[in-house]
Amino acid sequence: MSSISSISSSTREFESPSRAKQAVYHLRRNPLVLLGLISVILWTIISFIAPDIAPVEPLKQDLVNRLQAPNAQFFMGSDELGRDIFSRVLWGSRITIPAGLAVIIIGSTLGVIIGAIAGYAGGIVDELLMRLTELFMAFPFIILAMAVTAALGPDIQNAVIALSVVWWPRYARVLRGLVLEVKSQEFVEAAHSAGASGFYVLFRTILPNCIAPALILATLDIGTAIISFAALSFIGLGPEPSSPEWGRMVSIGIDFFDQWWMWLFPGFAIASLVMAFNFIGDGLRDILDPRLRGE
């Protein structure tokens, strides 16, 4: 009895540590990931409670106090209409975070479906879909997004649609490769021989085995999506001018170049959020791809 328990306790030492333990280990080795996680969580909380914690309504004008440098009343200064920059920056998270996520979700879903169909169907369908993917990739993506937004008319929703339209090709390529790899494995053959339909095999047997890499790619991509949305909106192809959207606020701030607080704080808001996502994405890649750890 005692010998059995001693064996089991000695084998336990060779078991790989639990996932939670691994996560803690990696977080301690990558303080930047932790920093990124904290910032993202903080921004997410802010986006939920902005209406409660913002000192002033984001659209409320106060012409007497216009263009105030940061002071006790206007923590981050005020803009050309006397609106409180601090409140506007807080409110801005309610536009930017959902917009960035929406682009990633729509774009990656579209890409996953197209790539999966191309990889599974093969032949002419594959050829056509992949040429289409290449075509979308030939346009520098912001240019294509600009053309689409200009065609649809500028507002938040159309900016998200435009970015999603240009976002899918990378996912389609990755997914096609993965599906090709999984397709030839034995359990897929087994599903076929058990009489499963092609649709069932693709979506229930093959896809679940390809989803993890797509999720990682999506995490790596959120920062880029946010920065692209801000750029579109900076150009004037996003929300309407009065909106407390960060990119838009920076572009209005250019006309008031010497009132640096007008563009610096919203700019830093974008940078801090994007940097946080990039820290997480970078750390995630290091953790999942041991080759890059250089060990």
Partner 1 sequence: MNFFQYFIRRALLVTPLLLGITVMAFLIANLIPADPTIANLPPNALNDEDTIAAFRKKWGLDKPLHEQYLTYLGNLLQGDLGTSIKTRKPVGEDISRRLPATIELATLGIIFGIALGVGLGLVSAIWKDSLADYAARIIAFIGISFPVFLLALIFLTVFYAQMRIAAGPGRLDIIMRPPPTVTGMFTIDALLAGDLKTFKNAFDHLVLPASTLALYISAIISRITRSSLLEVLNQDYMRTARAKGLRERYVIGFHGLRNSLIPVVTVIGLSYGNLLVGSILIESIFAYPGIGFYMFRASTSQDFPAIMGVSLLFAFIYVGVNFVVDIIYFFLDPRIRVA
Q: Which residues contact 223 (CB under 8 A, 6 or more apart)?
A: 273, 274, 275, 276, 277, 278, 281
The interface mask with partner 1, positions 107-146, x = CB under 8 A, is ------------------------x--xxx-xxxxxxx-x
| Contact assessment for residue 267 and residue 78, using Cβ atoms and an 8 Å cutoff | no
The interface mask with partner 1, positions 161-190, x = CB under 8 A, is ------------------------------
First CA to last CA across the chain, in angstroms? Answer: 42
Structure tokens belonging to residue 235: 């150009």
The interface mask with partner 1, positions 261-290, x = CB under 8 A, is --xx--xx-xx--xx--xx-----------
140 vs 198 by CB, closer to partner 1: 140
56 vs 144 by CB, closer to partner 1: 144
Our measurement of the distance from residue 109's CA atom to the centroid of its chain's CA atoms, rounded to an integer in Å, reads: 13
**Which residue type occupies 269?**
A
In this structure, the dihedral spanned by the alpha carbons of residues 248, 251, 257 and 262, taken in order and rounded to 10 degrees, is 10
Q: Is residue 227 a contact point for partner 1 (CB under 8 A)? A: yes
**Which residue type occupies 258?**
D
15 vs 258 by CB, closer to partner 1: 258
Taking alpha carbons only, the member of 249, 215, 38, 207 closest to residue 115 is 207
Dihedral sign for Cα 69, 74, 80, 85, please.
Answer: positive
**Minimal distance in Å, beta carbon 9 to partner 1?**
37
Q: Is residue 150 a contact point for partner 1 (CB under 8 A)? A: yes
The interface mask with partner 1, positions 229-268, x = CB under 8 A, is -xx--xxxx---------x--xx-xx--xx-x--xx--xx
Q: Is residue 31 a contact point for partner 1 (CB under 8 A)? A: no
Taking alpha carbons only, the member of 141, 126, 171, 152 closest to residue 231 is 141
Catalog residues that contact partner 1 under the rule CB under 8 A.
131, 134-136, 138-144, 146-153, 223, 227, 230-231, 234-237, 247, 250-251, 253-254, 257-258, 260, 263-264, 267-268, 270-271, 274-275, 278-279, 291-292, 294
